[in-house]
């Protein structure tokens, strides 16, 4: 019974920790990407109702892409780049759908969040203030992302379409999921880096103390040794937790990082190719007498 209670207390998520990821998780919940649910101090997998909602959103995004290809007309100067634009969206849709399906069960992700918080408990790190500051930064990033997506939809309709295309509302769904995933990944990396920096600072402090204690009296050293041993135990446990978390992080998020990198490179190549084609078309249609 005591072991069960101890395990239960370890799995309880602190409010400060949950707030760090709350804004990203809220946005993920809206776009059908949420793979964990932190509620009442516990991390659980998404409910069956939410899984159905995620499937509906994914289906709507696929239908929007099909509708865009079949129904919407691009502006005259952008028609030449339409195939490349379509290829990019189809590629993004495929890799994002694979990511969503891969993470829908959420079991390993739930364990990851518990291990992530365990770093603070093993280190005895009081990170409430750091967590609040990080939560503010993540919220700002999330708001900026939402604004960016809204502006992108407007620009897409104003400059690249002959008329307003309602399908563009869901067309940017895979791009939004990829960016939200990267915000979450960067948040986790920054969260862990703060703890690693704390370990380094503490080790530097011990190094300086060791040099000073060489000339200290014997009884003063013995008086401090017990407190130092406690700190050393916290550091060792914390370093072990950090290594475990980073191993799980690589296993869970390496696919998202790889696909985002591939998608970004593909987008850059498409933009370069599109720009070259548009410039060539404009030059070829430019009056010859103006060039002489």
**For tokens 């399908």, what's the residue?**
167
Region 238-255: mean pLDDT is 88
Q: What percent of the chain has pLDDT over 70?
A: 72
Q: pLDDT value at position 76?
A: 60
Domain span at residue 8 reads 2-291
Token pair in block for residue 193:
């880096």
Q: Which residues contact 2 (CB under 8 A, 6 or more apart)?
A: none
Q: What percent of the chain has pLDDT over 90?
A: 7
Strand pairing partners for 43? 38
Region 144-164: mean pLDDT is 75
Which tens digits make up the pLDDT trace of 42-100? 888 888 898 888 888 888 888 887 887 777 776 665 555 566 666 666 777 777 777 76
Higher pLDDT, 94 or 12: 12
Region 243-247: mean pLDDT is 91
Evaluate if residue 235 carries a pLDDT over 90: no
Which tens digits make up the pLDDT trace of 251-287? 888 888 887 787 778 777 777 776 777 677 666 665 5
Number of domains in the chain: 1
Mean pLDDT of the chain: 76
Instruction: Categorize the per-residue pLDDT at 9 as very low, low, confident or very high, splitting at 50, 70 and 90.
Output: low
Higher pLDDT, 60 or 155: 60
Evaluate if residue 221 carries a pLDDT over 60: no
Evaluate if residue 3 carries a pLDDT over 50: no
Which tens digits make up the pLDDT trace of 20-41? 899 899 988 888 888 888 888 8
DSSP 194-242: HHHHHHHHHHHHHHHHHHHHTTS-HHHHHHHHHHHHHHHHHHHHHHHHH
Q: Which residues contact 137 (CB under 8 A, 6 or more apart)?
A: none
What is the rounded CA–CA span in Å between residue 213 and residue 210? 5
Which tens digits make up the pLDDT trace of 99-127? 766 666 555 788 899 999 998 888 888 87
């Amino acid at each position: 019974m005591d072991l069960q209670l101890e395990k239960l207390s370890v799995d309880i998520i602190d409010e400060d920790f949950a707030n760090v990821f709350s804004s990203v998780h809220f946005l993920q919940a809206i776009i059908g990407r949420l793979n964990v649910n932190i509620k009442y101090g516990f991390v659980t997998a998404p409910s069956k109702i939410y899984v159905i909602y995620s499937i509906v959103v994914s289906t709507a995004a696929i239908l929007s892409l099909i509708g865009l290809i079949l129904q919407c007309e691009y502006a005259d100067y952008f028609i030449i780049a339409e195939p490349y634009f379509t290829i990019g969206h189809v590629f993004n849709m495929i890799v994002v759908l694979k990511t969503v399906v891969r993470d829908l069960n959420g079991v390993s992700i739930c364990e990851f969040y518990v291990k992530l918080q365990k770093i603070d408990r093993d280190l005895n790190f009081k990170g409430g203030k750091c967590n609040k500051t990080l939560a503010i930064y993540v919220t700002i990033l999330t708001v900026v992302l939402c604004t960016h997506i809204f502006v992108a939809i407007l620009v897409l309709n104003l400059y690249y379409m002959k008329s307003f295309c309602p399908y563009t509302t869901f067309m940017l769904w895979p791009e939004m999921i990829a960016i939200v995933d990267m915000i979450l990944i960067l948040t986790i990396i920054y969260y862990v880096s703060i703890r690693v920096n704390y370990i380094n600072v503490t080790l530097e402090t011990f190094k300086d103390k060791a040099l000073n204690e060489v000339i200290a009296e014997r009884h003063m050293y013995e008086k401090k040794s017990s407190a130092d041993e406690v700190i050393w135990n916290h550091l060792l446990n914390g370093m072990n937790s950090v290594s475990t978390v980073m191993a799980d992080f690589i296993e869970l998020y390496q696919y998202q990082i790889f696909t985002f990198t591939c998608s970004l490179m593909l987008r850059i190549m498409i933009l370069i190719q599109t720009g070259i084609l548009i410039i060539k078309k404009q030059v070829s249609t430019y009056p010859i007498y103006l060039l002489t």
